[in-house]
Structure 1
Amino acid sequence: MPYLRTCVLLLAASGAAHAADLNVLSFGGANKAAQEIAYYQPFHRASGVGVYADDYNGHYYREIVAGRNTAPGGRWDVVEVSAPELARGCAEGRFEKLDWAAIAPREAFLTGATSECGAGIFTWSAVLAYNQKMLAKAPQGWADFWDTRRFAGKRAMNRSARYTLEAALLADGVPAAEIYPTLSTEAGVKRALRKLDALRPHIVWWESPAQPAQMLAHEQVSMALGFSGRITRAARDWPQLKVSWPGNINNVNYWAVPKGGNTALATSFIAFASQPENQATYSRYIDYGPTRKEAIAMLPAELAQRLPGSDANRQGALQLDSAFWAANGKSLEARFERWLSTGKD
Structure 2
Amino acid sequence: MAARSVAKAPQPRPKPNVRMSDALKLVSWGGAYQHSQDKAYVDPYVARNRGLNVSWDSDSPNAVSVLRKGDATARSWDLVDVVAADAIRLCEGGQAERIDFDRILAPAPDGTPPSADFGKFLINDCFVPQIAYSTTIGYRTDLVGRQRPGSICDIFDLRRFPGKRALEKRPINNMEWALLCDGVPESRLYEVLATRRGQDRALAKLDTIKNHVIWWSAGAETPQLLADGEVVMGSAYNGRLFSLIADYGLPVDILWDRQVIDLDGWIIPKGLPADRKARVLDFLYFATDAQRLADQAQYIAYGPARRSSATLVGRHKDLGVDMKRHIPTGQGNFATAMLYNYDFWAEHRSAIDSRFSAWLKR
Normalising by structure 1, we get a TM-score of 0.73
Q: 2:13 — aligned with what?
A: none
Say how many residue pairs are matched. Answer: 317
Does residue 181 of the first structure (1) align with residue 191 of the second (2)? yes
What amino acid maps onto 1:309 in structure 2? T
Q: 1:329 — aligned with what?
A: 346
* Structure-2 separation of matches of 1:256 and 1:68: 11
Deviation at 1:273, TM superposition (A): 2.0
- Residues 293, 140 of structure 1: CA spacing in aligned structure 2 closer, same or farther, 3 A cutoff? closer
- Residues 33, 172 of structure 1: CA spacing in aligned structure 2 closer, same or farther, 3 A cutoff? farther
- Residues 29, 194 of structure 1: CA spacing in aligned structure 2 closer, same or farther, 3 A cutoff? farther
- Residues 98, 30 of structure 1: CA spacing in aligned structure 2 closer, same or farther, 3 A cutoff? same
Deviations 1:182-215 (A, max 9, x none): 223222223223333444442221344x554344
Deviations 1:27-75 (A, max 9, x none): x76544423322344445555333325266xxx7xx6546899x99533
Indicate which of 303, 310, 313 corresponds to 1:289: 303
Q: Any runs of at least 4 consecutive aligned residues in structure 1 with deviations exceeding 6 A, and if so which?
A: 66-69, 260-263
Q: Which runs of 5+ in 2 are unaligned?
A: 1-21, 316-321
Contact 2:132 2:303 in 1 (8 A): yes
Indicate which of 122, 125, 132 corresponds to 2:141: 132
Deviation at 1:337, TM superposition (A): 5.0
- Residues 187, 243 of structure 1: CA spacing in aligned structure 2 closer, same or farther, 3 A cutoff? same
Which one has the largest radius of gyration? 2
* Structure-2 separation of matches of 1:190 and 1:258: 42
Q: 1:10 — aligned with what?
A: none
Deviates further, 285-294 or 256-265: 256-265
Q: 2:38 — aligned with what?
A: 36
Contact 1:22 1:77 in 2 (8 A): yes
- Root-mean-square deviation (CA, aligned residues, Å) is 3.8
Q: 2:312 — aligned with what?
A: 298
Contact 2:24 2:280 in 1 (8 A): no
* Structure-1 separation of matches of 2:297 and 2:43: 16
Q: 1:167 — aligned with what?
A: 177
Q: 2:97 — aligned with what?
A: 96
Contact 1:161 1:333 in 2 (8 A): no
Q: 2:132 — aligned with what?
A: 123
Deviates further, 242-251 or 97-106: 97-106
- Residues 242, 107 of structure 1: CA spacing in aligned structure 2 closer, same or farther, 3 A cutoff? same
- Within 5 Å, which residues of 2 pair with 1:256-295? 256-259=267-270, 264=277, 266-295=280-309
Contact 1:235 1:241 in 2 (8 A): yes
- Residues 94, 133 of structure 1: CA spacing in aligned structure 2 closer, same or farther, 3 A cutoff? farther
Contact 1:127 1:243 in 2 (8 A): yes
Does residue 231 of the first structure (1) align with residue 241 of the second (2)? yes
* Structure-2 separation of matches of 1:145 and 1:81: 31
- Residues 343, 161 of structure 1: CA spacing in aligned structure 2 closer, same or farther, 3 A cutoff? closer
Contact 1:122 1:290 in 2 (8 A): yes
Secondary structure at 1:110's aligned position in 2?
helix
Q: Which runs of 5+ in 1 are unaligned?
A: 1-18
Secondary structure at 1:216's aligned position in 2?
helix
* Structure-2 separation of matches of 1:282 and 1:97: 25
Normalising by structure 2, we get a TM-score of 0.70
Deviation at 1:233, TM superposition (A): 4.2
Does residue 319 of the first structure (1) align with residue 338 of the second (2)? yes
- Residues 314, 295 of structure 1: CA spacing in aligned structure 2 closer, same or farther, 3 A cutoff? closer
Contact 1:307 1:313 in 2 (8 A): yes
Contact 1:128 1:141 in 2 (8 A): no
Deviates further, 300-309 or 177-186: 300-309
Q: 1:113 — aligned with what?
A: 121
Secondary structure at 2:332's aligned position in 1?
helix
Identity %: 27
